Amino acid sequence: MGDPMFGVELDIRTLAFVATLSAIIQALTFSSLWMVSRRDNATTLWAVGGIANAIGFILLGLRGFIPDLASVVAANTLIAAGHAFYLFGLQVYTNKKPSYRTVGIALAIYAA
């Protein structure tokens, strides 16, 4: 009979919608966590990362409606920056020194 996954086509717009919805829920969750625990710097970084990811995925979803510079370059840079903020938050949470310089250089190269 074969593998049932053959013949299943995934619509990229549906995947983008699910990723956007997930990023928005994550941003709301981290922002709520930050509002409850403002003295914890890790939650601040996670909230910023979630918001950056949500905005990035929204911009990706607007591809074809807004200029490519915003819908591709800015969106992907925001998503990468969001993940960098997650990393910084994890490093702060585990009492490690955040690697701001290394990630900043990587993001600058990525955006270029």
Q: Tell me the pTM.
A: 0.79
Give the per-residue pLDDT at 6. Answer: 66
pLDDT for residue 86 is more than 60: yes
Exposure of 4 by Cβ count < 10 A (0-12 exposed, 13-18 middle, 19+ buried)? exposed
Task: Tell which wins on pLDDT, 106 or 36.
Answer: 36
pLDDT for residue 64 is more than 90: no
pLDDT for residue 4 is more than 70: no
Give the per-residue pLDDT at 98. Answer: 85
Q: Which of the 8 DSSP states describes residue 82? A: H
Q: Which of 13, 46, 42, 4 is nearest to 28 (CA)?
A: 46
pLDDT tens, position by position, 13-63: 788 889 889 989 998 998 898 888 778 888 899 999 999 999 999 998 888
- The band of 3, judged by pLDDT with boundaries at 50, 70 and 90, is low
Task: Give the separation between CA 73 and CA 60, rounded to whole angstroms.
Answer: 9
